[in-house]
Amino acid sequence: MRQRESKATFWSALLVVLGIACILTPAIVLAAGGSGQGFDAIVRSIEVRYHAHATRIPFMGLISGIAGISTHGGVRGLHVAEFEHFRAGDEPDLNFDGAEFNALVEEHVGHGWQRMIRETGRGKEQTLIYVRQEGEHMGMLVVDLSGNDLDVVQLSVNPEHLMDEVSKHRHEHGRDHNADKDEDRDDLE
């Protein structure tokens, strides 16, 4: 009898805990969208602010690994999130507040990231490129909004490895890159 009573108490306590968790989960998710830093925080904050849904590319870890192997460590840590049909609420595109969007990304980008490029156009046109030093690698975070398409991409690049690979490809394809460059320089002389 006592055992049955303690079982009932256990189940009711569990139900209470689950109930509280169910009530609190949306609040926790929303709060997480407003705080935290880095790629995920940026994507979440955009989802929350603009009521949009990001499509994460499946098997990104695998793709990132393949990219690392094929570039001999030149590129790693790929993260991609894609928002299709991105709309800034019900407002017309021309009323899109680019400064607010920029501030939202800035708030969540995190420590060590510095904005290198910001390109803005009328309506929903904005490209933000952040970089940070990650040892021998350079971390790059790109937020590209073009009309209703928004992409957030993060990757880590080893410039020396990458340039070695690029120059190898140039030699293999017999492209005289220096001739192109000299032409450019002559044009400026």
Partner 1 sequence: MLALGMATVAMSAMGQDALPAPSPVEKALAEKASHVTEVTLDKNMLAFAAKFMDKEDEKDGTKEMIRNLKGVYVREYEFDKDNSYTAADLEALRKYIQTSEWSSMVKERSKSASEGTDVFVKLVNGQMEGLFVVDAEARELSLVLILGPIDVDKISSLGGTFGIPKDAVKSVKKAQKEAGK
DSSP state at residue 171: H
> Which residue from 168, 121, 126 is spatially nearest to 145, judged by alpha carbons?
126
Q: Rounded to 10 degrees, what is the CA torsion of 181, 187, 188, 189?
A: 110
Q: Does 180 bind partner 1 (CB under 8 A)?
A: no
Residue 138 Cβ, how far from partner 1 at the closest point, in Å? 6
C-alpha–C-alpha distance, residues 53 and 74, integer Å: 31
C-alpha–C-alpha distance, residues 127 and 147, integer Å: 11
Nearer to partner 1, 119 or 149 (CB): 119
> Which residue from 79, 82, 95 is spatially nearest to 46, judged by alpha carbons?
82
Q: Residues 21, 31, 69, 117: which binds partner 1 (CB under 8 A)?
A: 117
Q: Does 34 bind partner 1 (CB under 8 A)?
A: no
Residue 89 Cβ, how far from partner 1 at the closest point, in Å? 22
Q: Does 189 bind partner 1 (CB under 8 A)?
A: yes
Residue 16 Cβ, how far from partner 1 at the closest point, in Å? 54
Tell me if 141 sits within 8 A of 151, measured CB to CB: no
127-156: contacts with partner 1 (CB under 8 A): 131, 133, 138
Q: At what angle do helices 98-109 and 39-50 cross, to 10 degrees?
A: 140
Q: Residues 72, 168, 171, 177: which binds partner 1 (CB under 8 A)?
A: 177
Nearer to partner 1, 24 or 116 (CB): 116
> Which residue from 75, 81, 80 is spatially nearest to 156, judged by alpha carbons?
75
Listed ranges 8-16, 33-41, 52-60, 121-129: which one lies at the site for partner 1 (CB under 8 A): 121-129
Interface positions with partner 1 (CB under 8 A): 114-122, 125, 131, 133, 138, 159-160, 162-163, 167, 177-178, 181, 184-185, 187-189
